[in-house]
Amino acid sequence: MIGGSISKFIDQLYFGQEIVFSYNGRKYFIQGWRSDDTEQATMVLDDVTELHEGNYLWEYHAAKMSECAEAFLVAPIWNGKDFLQIENDVVWTDW
């Protein structure tokens, strides 16, 4: 991971914190939250390269935020590759 440590990235992911990163010329935003109504954790990933409203690239619901984070790390989002397979080329950035 460029611009940060993968372990710190994963720590923040497990808490559902907002993270901005870029990969392959695209900028992404991931965040998580817990619903008070359903007591369910939700994590979403959005491509924010061009700020248009639309559907999330990836969305996951689980009982715990850690389950969402683990699902994100192994989801084949990038041309069949998961985050751990591309992390050496990911740039941890800011808005």
Q: The pTM is what?
A: 0.91
40-84 pLDDT tens trace: 999 999 999 987 766 799 999 999 999 999 999 999 999 999 999
Produce one character per residue of 19-44: b if its CB has 16 or more CB atoms within 10 Å, e if not: bebbbeeebbbbebeeeeeeeebbbb
d(CA 87, CA 48): 18
- The pLDDT value recorded for residue 54 is 67
d(CA 80, CA 1): 19
The domain ranges of the chain are 6-93
- The pLDDT value recorded for residue 47 is 93
1-52 pLDDT tens trace: 999 999 999 999 999 999 999 999 999 999 999 988 888 999 999 999 987 7
d(CA 7, CA 50): 28
- The pLDDT value recorded for residue 3 is 96
Between 39 and 93, where is the model more confident?
93
Structure token pair of residue 57: 């690239």
- The pLDDT value recorded for residue 84 is 96
